Amino acid sequence: MSISIKLMGVPGPKLGDEKFTQDMFGVSTPTFVTPDTRANAQLQKQSLKNTQIYYFLNLRESHVLDFIMQGLWIKTQTSPFEAPYFSCVPYLLGDGQAMQYSMWPLRKKRTRIPRLPLRPPDDYLRNAMVATLAEEDVEFDIRVQLQTDPHLMPIENNAVLWPTKLSPRRSVATLHIPKQKFDSPAQLNFDRKLSYNPWHSIPEHRPLGNQSRARRRMYAALSQLRHEMNGVPLYEPTGDEVFE
């Protein structure tokens, strides 16, 4: 699973094309599957042929360790509100300091996964979100981990887990999602107009590393294609939108 957060009304100059937003991202495994853009391209090529296993078991350039670690971390999720999310790539935290961030659910309840041990419905995670927000608020603890060792906590290899023994994750903020109905036609249409990019950012939190540099162009191109296919314009939200 993944999460995208768009902060609105953010002052100051930006690196990307949006003037008043700061985007944040996370996935539900603590590292990326691939260490860098070159390896990512190799995996994508194999994915197109549905032969991803050859990327991991390539005798000339094996990624067996990545395969094992991802297998240990991946699990059937109960709800998007009940899993932690990790940035996996580093960002600046002011001049000369790299960090990674993560979001940790504060909800203690666990949603039942339908149909187990059979395959759950394709939309069970979305249904879990709708049901939860219809009844209660949801909160995540946002934590920051500072880079304290450039060798054991690398910038350019995003398949390496930064050791918490060297630098613990520290709470810096709370993401609060109020109780609501969020799946109205007006809201879904609004969602289609949005665009997310790690480079929707102030310079002080610039994305770092080769995969972040690649995502700048890739995300922009994918967003443009998606908006053209959906026949909707790009839209930078203000946070003042009202939905009936």
pLDDT in tens, 122-141: 999 999 999 999 999 999 99
What does the pLDDT read at residue 105? 98
pLDDT in tens, 58-92: 877 878 878 887 777 778 899 999 999 999 999 99
Average pLDDT across the chain, whole number: 93
- Which domains occur in the chain, in start order? 2-29+74-230 (2.40.180.10)
Q: What is the pLDDT of residue 95?
A: 92
Q: What is the pLDDT of residue 71?
A: 76
The pLDDT > 90 percentage for the chain reads 77
As a whole number of angstroms, the distance between CA 17 and CA 33 comes to 29
Q: What is the pLDDT of residue 161?
A: 96
- Residue 59: what pLDDT? 75
SS3 (DSSP) at 218: helix
**pLDDT class of 55 with cuts at 50, 70, 90:** confident
Q: Residue 99 forms beta bridges with which residues? A: 91, 146
Residue 63's pLDDT is what? Answer: 84
Report the pLDDT value the prediction gives residue 219, as an integer from 0 to 100: 95
What's the whole-number mean pLDDT along residues 94-114? 95
How many other C-beta atoms can be found within 10 angstroms of the C-beta atom of residue 83? 19
Torsion angle, CA of 124/126/129/130, rounded to 10 degrees? -100
CB distance 179 to 134 below 8 Å: yes
Distance CA 152, CA 133 (A): 40
**Alpha-carbon gap, residue 18 to 237, rounded angstroms:** 9
> Residue 99 carries which DSSP code?
E
The dihedral formed by the CA atoms of 216, 220, 223 and 224, expressed in degrees to the nearest 10: -170
Alpha-carbon distance of 89 to 31, in angstroms, equals: 8
pLDDT value of residue 73: 75
CB 172 within 8 A of CB 212: no
